[in-house]
Structure 1
Amino acid sequence: MFHTPDHYHNISMRLSDVLGDIGVNEKMLLKMRRTAVLDETNRTIIFRGRKHQMTSYNFGSWSEGTTTLGLRSDTDHLFTKDDINVIQDWSEWTLGKRNYLMIQNETIPPGYSLLQKLRNDVPLPDTHEYDNHFAKDTSGRILFKNTIVDKFLQVATGRHQRQGPSIALTQQPGVLDEDLVSALPCTSWPQSAKACLSHLDVNNWPTANMYRYIKTTKCFVVGVGNKVSENADFEWRLSTSLAERSLMFNLNITQIRCYILMKMIIKTYINPDNESYISSFMCKTVLFHCIASKPSYIWKECNILNCLTYCILTLNRCISCRNCPHFFDCENNLMAGKFSNTVKQVLLQTTAKLIPCDGMSLFGIQFDNVGERLQIKLNIMNGVHHNIPSPDEYTRFTSATLLGNTTGSILDIHNGVIQEIKDKSLVKKLRILLQIVQHLTRYYRDGDILVKVSSRLLAPIYCSSIGSLIASHNIQINNTVSPQALVWLETGLDSDVASSRLKLASILYCTGQMKSAAFILNDVYQRYNTEVTEPQCGCYLFPATSNKIRFGQISSQYDEEAVKYIAAYCVTFCREEINCVPHELQYEMFRSTQEDIQHRDILDDGWMDCAVVDSLPYLYFLQYKTLGNLNRPEEQQQALTKLIWATKTENNLGHRETALNLLGQCMEQENRLDDALQCYMLSLHVRETNNAAKIHICRCLANTHL
């Protein structure tokens, strides 16, 4: 490959150590992948439980385990509409599905196709244009336009934007960017990709077993055309993301580290100003070609510098001829139209300086302090005065982030269901939620290990919602809670540390069962270790600050079911649950004026029609109210002190404004009106619009002048 200087071995080993220290190791790799696959399992199960013909996939760096905290890679969610069938010949036409025929010819760029609409009742071409998303071509075919993706954007605000085939949520401080892609599944691989696949050397890489599996994976078409095409609105890009992910899952740790280093080098030297001449996907494709062309024995830790050099050299050659062939479709040039000749010369000069990768170029990488870490490992720099996170800290940070992703997924999915059914009658709401629980039960009984885990994590929160809805109806009729409601509530108690138990305590409080409520609240108090437990909010993209050390430690030691012992979900009551909510919290259901509603994001802010509060402040608020009713004033004041402490010091409260509104009302009850007003003003500082604090300020000022 190259002549290998003696010091290359030492630098390679130290570089491998550095990457291991920042979480690029087998343990974190598996943890990242499991988190991503669990998330898509969670979403798909609930889609099926709602009888939506959709499947969720997670692609990209987080699902592959090919990122670090410092790279801040975005998350890629792909949703397929499984009632659609994209076919390549008439034999694949399926009754009962919306069928589209893939059209590829010399006028269509490689890697793209047109979709001709077919009839759903018989395998014949459709002749109706229907709406603006269909158009007739010169041959009389009805073509499906990729502008359908724009339809999803019509309900979004400025935070969402079209980026290629995806809806992107970007520029949220403290939150990773997110891409949502709607895709159509293909019955079989396109002919061009099949031809390229058949030419792979299965004796080297991919192996014969990998090759057999790849042929069984689905491919998709996504709604974006070639930028330089005259028919861009009609073209759909082919995606072999599942096959690519299967290849990534079969790479060894040195190959993964090479890919991450390539991304760091590209972001440091080639795309430093957010330009995107060379994409991560190009780097991945280059890596695939390198692995396929070189023997497997070279990909080892002590040789990582040589491997990286070969990857950069291959990238340089691709830039030189402005051709980076897609690994599964060789005719598809990923660099076509991406940069001019002038830019090409600059890119060639830059990449040439990086060859060979002898360590000097790596010293300039600032992501995750890779450059400094390597110099410290090589004794070039003294590490005593550098505030660089230790390997254990990195493990804690990453593990806490991944567990937070899991809880966020569970809550986001549940909130989506609640918003989807919010305008339905109580009977229909209960029927839908019961349908989901029954579906989860079947999945738990018949599914694989990950499906069972998913079902265990998801089911309790839906059981709790069913119980609370029934209880609210019971309270409205006769101010009691039926045994049926209590059974559902008890079934849902283990959703997390606190939220479902607090729902039960809230219901007991609202029906005057103060002793029983106090007993449940004391149980929650014992479970909620403030040095370990982290609040978890899935209502919006909440930018969490640093997690507690022990939360990170436990996250790194245990799997995702640790959420039941160290995570505290938000407590959410929809309007049909209003009778389960103390009047102080009911204001949150009516937080928005007509003017406020104009400031909402329709996709993200549906939770604002509910009463939502973080578990810890709600625990102390309910204790304050319950102990007051039990005439235990000393303990009541202790609860108030803890509520004040929680609103001030708990870092990751997703609904701090609600906690301050509850605290303000407690201050009013204490006849401390100035303190109450201060709470409401602080609440408005946290959330300026869609905040019930405005109501409380008006009432408080009116009482002040009485």
Structure 2
Amino acid sequence: MDHIPRLSEILYIGLCRKIGTPTEVTIRRNVWDMLYILDQNRHTYKHECIGRSILSGSQREGFRFDTSDQDYMMWCCGWKVIKDISQSRAYNSSLCDIILMEDTNTPPGFVRLQLLTVPRGKYFTTAIIPFNDRIYISSFLWRQVFADEIRFENVTEHGPCSRYYIGDTEVDRVFCFASKYWPSITEHWIKRCVKQMWPPAAVLKDILNNDIHCVPIGSKCNSSENDLEWRLSFSLAEQKLVFNMNHTQFLCYGLLKIFLKEVINNNVEEPLLCSYFMKTTMFWLIQVGHLNWRPNNLLECFWMCFKYLILCVYRCKFANFFIPQNNMFSYKIVGVARESLLEQLNQYYRIGVACLLHSPTLRSILVPALSRPSLVIPSNRGHIQDIVDIDKSIMNEILDKLVIKEGYSFTYLKSVDMLQHSIISPYMSLTLQYCKANYLVNTAFTAAYSSFYLKNKYVKYLDKMLCNMLKLSSRIGSISHSLYLALYYYRTGRYYKALNITNLTKQRLSKPYILYKGIVDRYRYSEDVSSLSLSKKMNFAWVAELTLYHRIRYIEELTLEQQMDKLMSGSGFKGSFYSPFVIVHMLSVLSNYRLGNRFRYLQSLQDLRTLLLYDDGRYISLFQRDMSWQILGICQQVVGDLQGALQSYQESLRQEPFHRIQTATKARIDNIRQQLSENIYVHV
């Protein structure tokens, strides 16, 4: 298999379908760009000692592999890291914890963090240790402190991160320190970028205006001070560099990641190479500027990257892109392990570019092209997508993956107002619109939850304001957002209004063109929806899950489940996801029952039971089934069908325990059995 342009172009198209087209990658990045901007603007209105978190790693860069994990960096804005003692004058030590970053007498790329202020809070008092008559923050103790804060099961250490699982998703969280001051050792990198003209001057300026981070892990060298060392992380700078890649470069980066996972590290328990080395390889070769990064040269680009990697293993030296003095192979790829890895890589080198066929993913792309020498597909075909597929990509990022934070909703609304008149991309604008709809809901229900303490003369005014907020949310959000208004009407005893909204929403959910979890009637969607703007599409045809937060009482019937879920989830996500198709039936049952419409609530009850019995995952995902059967049981219990409720609760216990409501389910079962026994006693 040669480096022929035809195969390179076919590989380019195949990777566009596997990794993403330029449009899809732009959508993914724009969504998280908008969230990052919103989070930054929040600090204009809040005290600076609040926490920050950002998504990093391959997800933030724009990849969506099936096995992609989620990497989060978290820090407190009240932790001020400086590189010179004179910079401490810029901060109020009574409000901030001031930390001096020392890079003398430390391995390249590592620093020590000296705490200059009096230790406050359990994090600092637990993690500090004295050294040379000064107080330093121990990276080892810091990891331990925050690992103990995570209450998910099977939390493990992974480098500087705490690793755990939410369902099948692997999550890495690192609690670190951010600094706007770049250490002196990075000055050579800045000069090199200017000389090589990559990244471009505007991108370099943007990078230098962003923070760097200190993550809690020391160097591998044998030193008694390892616990005092913190590794410099350039995660935000790396994101900017990846964003500056053209699509051929991005796909080559993805190609290296696939080859690493499916070939080099296949069946290897403790791999020596990681995807960060692939990223660094790309940075070095792009900056050198000797390669022609075009679709019809993709195989040649991959091969040059692969040869660079072999050379680094042979020399046992792999220079960090930002700090070349930091040899990332030191104490890692040495001795027998290095020789074994080098032999493995040389075997692939002797095979040539055909070594890509060892990867199942790449083989499925290349074999058809090899078996049909006449097959030619222009690379620009890889960018062509049907409008339905583009909309599914947008919805997948915004409605299906975007989790809106519960706290600071009113503050976020101020940020939304600031950004509404900014010049932003259509995908960022849609993200902003969706966020606004959710912030309105969160603000309304939070205020409603707090209205118990208000005097009666203010309650009517507040109620009118909250109704207007929820109506606005239903006008700008997805179809599902109208159910929040129905929940509020039901909560406040306006059952006719709740039922009207519920029936209208049920009709909208029954339309053949609706898009929910990527499933849609393509023909009807193209006919009825494709000509609309993105904003109208979301409100007209897109359906999202409902998010109910633990601390807010939406309706009395779900209070016990929310309390138990909150109690058991610990420091995890502070809410639950509900299928709108279940909630709409629940509201129909409860509202009709309160209004005395016996035939209608029994029909709605049967509809909900039928949905649960025969759904194949189209309307209710696996992780929603425990709560969905619980809701059916609650509805049956409310209307007096105790035997049916008992069966539904037992069925809930047999489902995947995603919502951690088993204690509530068992309590409801005990309550029903007690009622049944009392009824038998009375009858006798």
TM-score norm. by structure 2 comes to 0.82
- Answering whether residue 106 of structure 2 is matched by residue 104 of structure 1, we say no
Contact kept in structure 1, 2:3 and 2:353, CA below 8 Å:
no
* Cα distance per residue 1:173-203 (max 9 Å; x no partner): 532x222223322232222221233134634
- SS of 1:299's partner is coil
Out of 135, 145, 169, which is 2:164 matched to?
169
- How do residues 88-487 of structure 1 correspond to structure 2 at under 5 angstroms? 88-93=83-88, 94-96=90-92, 97-105=96-104, 107-119=105-117, 131-138=125-132, 140-146=133-139, 147-157=141-151, 158-170=153-165, 172-175=166-169, 177-200=170-193, 202-230=195-223, 231-272=225-266, 273-295=268-290, 298-355=292-349, 358-366=352-360, 369-379=361-371, 400=392, 403-407=395-399, 411-414=403-406, 417=407, 434-438=410-414, 440-444=416-420, 455-469=432-446, 471=448, 482-487=460-465
- Answering whether residue 620 of structure 2 is matched by residue 647 of structure 1, we say no
- SS of 1:167's partner is strand
* Cα distance per residue 1:285-339 (max 9 Å; x no partner): 111111222335x111111111111111100011011111011111011111112
Contact kept in structure 1, 2:479 and 2:542, CA below 8 Å:
no
- Answering whether residue 65 of structure 2 is matched by residue 69 of structure 1, we say yes
Unaligned runs of 5+ in 2: 376-381
CA distance in 1, matches of 2:270, 2:390: 27
Say which is worse superposed, 82-91 or 234-243, in terms of deviation.
Answer: 82-91
How much does 1:113 deviate? 0.8
Out of 590, 601, 615, which is 2:580 matched to?
615
Please tell me the residue identity of whatever aligns with 2:102.
I
Say which is worse superposed, 352-361 or 637-646, in terms of deviation.
Answer: 352-361
- SS of 2:101's partner is strand
Contact kept in structure 1, 2:593 and 2:639, CA below 8 Å:
no
Change (3 A) 1:630 1:602: closer
- SS of 1:180's partner is strand
* Cα distance per residue 1:522-553 (max 9 Å; x no partner): 22223324756577xxxxxxxxxx74245998
Change (3 A) 1:377 1:205: same
- SS of 1:327's partner is coil
Change (3 A) 1:12 1:670: same
Say which is worse superposed, 328-337 or 439-448, in terms of deviation.
Answer: 439-448
- Answering whether residue 546 of structure 2 is matched by residue 570 of structure 1, we say yes
How much does 1:152 deviate? 1.5
Please tell me the residue identity of whatever aligns with 2:305.
C
CA distance in 2, matches of 1:131, 1:511: 47
Change (3 A) 1:78 1:497: same
How much does 1:148 deviate? 2.0
Change (3 A) 1:446 1:286: closer
Out of 602, 621, 637, which is 2:570 matched to?
602
Contact kept in structure 1, 2:193 and 2:199, CA below 8 Å:
yes
Contact kept in structure 2, 1:9 and 1:303, CA below 8 Å:
yes
How much does 1:260 deviate? 1.2
Report the counterpart of residue 600 of structure 2 in structure 1: 635
Please tell me the residue identity of whatever aligns with 2:629.
L
Out of 495, 502, 505, which is 2:486 matched to?
505
Out of 15, 34, 38, which is 2:34 matched to?
38
CA distance in 2, matches of 1:189, 1:225: 19
* Cα distance per residue 1:241-280 (max 9 Å; x no partner): 2222222111112211211111111112221225331111
- SS of 1:339's partner is coil
CA distance in 2, matches of 1:685, 1:474: 38
Contact kept in structure 2, 1:160 and 1:169, CA below 8 Å:
yes
CA distance in 1, matches of 2:638, 2:203: 68
CA distance in 1, matches of 2:458, 2:581: 26
Report the counterpart of residue 631 of structure 2 in structure 1: 662
- Amino-acid identity (%): 20
How much does 1:470 deviate? 5.0
- SS of 1:325's partner is coil
Please tell me the residue identity of whatever aligns with 1:299.
W
CA distance in 1, matches of 2:349, 2:402: 46
* Cα distance per residue 1:350-402 (max 9 Å; x no partner): 22223377542112212xx321221113326999xxxxxx9999998897576
Please tell me the residue identity of whatever aligns with 1:460.
A
Contact kept in structure 2, 1:445 and 1:452, CA below 8 Å:
no
Report the counterpart of residue 423 of structure 1 in structure 2: none
How much does 1:114 deviate? 1.0
Change (3 A) 1:166 1:399: farther
Change (3 A) 1:678 1:468: same
Please tell me the residue identity of whatever aligns with 1:304.
L
Please tell me the residue identity of whatever aligns with 1:361.
C
Please tell me the residue identity of whatever aligns with 1:525.
K
Change (3 A) 1:261 1:590: closer
- How do residues 483-632 of structure 1 correspond to structure 2 at under 5 angstroms? 483-493=461-471, 494=473, 496-497=477-478, 500-529=481-510, 547-549=518-520, 564=539, 565-570=541-546, 572=548, 577=553, 581-582=555-556, 584-591=557-564, 600-604=568-572, 606-607=574-575, 613-632=578-597
Change (3 A) 1:28 1:357: farther
Please tell me the residue identity of whatever aligns with 1:100.
I
* Cα distance per residue 1:117-156 (max 9 Å; x no partner): 2248xxxx99xx9734222223x23222222232121122
Contact kept in structure 2, 1:571 and 1:615, CA below 8 Å:
no
* Cα distance per residue 1:49-107 (max 9 Å; x no partner): 55344444332212222x3434x2222222343323322223322221432222223x4
Contact kept in structure 2, 1:467 and 1:485, CA below 8 Å:
no
CA distance in 2, matches of 1:325, 1:88: 24
Say which is worse superposed, 320-329 or 73-82, in terms of deviation.
Answer: 73-82
* Cα distance per residue 1:13-44 (max 9 Å; x no partner): 22112112224321122122113323333444
Please tell me the residue identity of whatever aligns with 1:221.
C
Change (3 A) 1:698 1:392: farther
CA distance in 1, matches of 2:91, 2:670: 61
- Root-mean-square deviation (Å): 3.9
- Answering whether residue 13 of structure 2 is matched by residue 17 of structure 1, we say yes
Report the counterpart of residue 543 of structure 1 in structure 2: none
Contact kept in structure 1, 2:395 and 2:542, CA below 8 Å:
no
CA distance in 2, matches of 1:216, 1:245: 13
- SS of 1:329's partner is coil
Contact kept in structure 2, 1:222 and 1:238, CA below 8 Å:
yes
Report the counterpart of residue 665 of structure 2 in structure 1: 693
TM-score norm. by structure 1 comes to 0.80
Please tell me the residue identity of whatever aligns with 2:179.
C
CA distance in 2, matches of 1:702, 1:393: 59
Change (3 A) 1:701 1:411: same
Change (3 A) 1:512 1:80: closer
Contact kept in structure 2, 1:74 and 1:179, CA below 8 Å:
yes
CA distance in 2, matches of 1:507, 1:208: 52
How much does 1:616 deviate? 2.2
Please tell me the residue identity of whatever aligns with 2:496.
K
Please tell me the residue identity of whatever aligns with 1:143.
Y
Contact kept in structure 1, 2:81 and 2:178, CA below 8 Å:
yes
